[in-house]
Amino acid sequence: MGADEENLRAIEPGIVTDFTDRMTYASYLDLDTLLGAQHPVSVPEHHDELLFIIAHQTSELWLKLTLHELEAAKTALAQDDIAVALKCIARVKHIQKSLTEQWSVLATLTPTEYSEFRGSLGNASGFQSHQYRAVEFILGNKNAGMLAVFESDPAAHALLSRLLDEPSLYDEFWRHLHRTGLAVPTSALERDVRTAYTMNPDLVPLIKDVYEHPHQNWAAYESFEELVDLEENFQLWRFRHMRTVLRTIGTKPGTGGSSGVGFLRRALDLTFFPELFAVRTEVGR
């Protein structure tokens, strides 16, 4: 028996090989649709445009799963099932790591390579990602003015309109803690959920007390840290986004009309759960 024959791995007898009337890996995942969804628009087609398309399509798939998990976490909080909510948030944290690391692949696109097909994108921009905007809405960074961007996309507009009207994940969290018996101030329970969440100083004393006496309310204590992780991961993603754009196009304006890096840099000042960070100055005083 030759070396090639020795190294040949035999197909195990139980492995299915006849898929005449069976579901296959490709059919279950609808790979024909998925792998056929990349349509470069540069003429002649530029080699690196496929990287650009796949990087963004992959991000959208992860964002779809992120929304799926955050919606489930919000529902669980409304049902006072904190364990399920935290499990969903834990999964989102792992998704965020994958999204952040993905920027390293896109960062291999040099300024010269990108410039050769950037003009073909027209006004298409990540700014127009309705799923990214939906994630921000569900986490509390709401802006009714953003709906105008999606008026030409009824499904996206409907999703964002619904999330604008509904309590955010953070709103549902405080309502849950109120139902568990914590003295959550009325200002947190009755705020206008259609507006962007802003710092509520009334919450800081409660959060401080939980941090200083964690064993008296461990579920709230653990939840605070999970939410802090969620925001930190989001900020790391934003930072890598900004640095990748800076590395690729410098300070040029974005294709969608934004100021580019300047716009992304200002986004780093946004916060979803401000009291959970403000309390760190107060704990131990």
d(CA 57, CA 64): 11
* Nearest CA-CA partner of 42 in 53, 56, 54, 29: 53
- Binding-site positions for substrate read 114, 118, 255
- Binding-site positions read 114, 118, 241, 255
- Binding-site positions for heme read 241
Q: Decide if 131 contacts 65 (C-beta within 8 A).
A: no
d(CA 50, CA 57): 10
Phi, psi dihedrals of residue 190, rounded to the nearest 5°: -115, 15
* Nearest CA-CA partner of 73 in 4, 138, 158, 14: 138
CB atoms within 10 A of CB 132: 17
d(CA 191, CA 232): 25
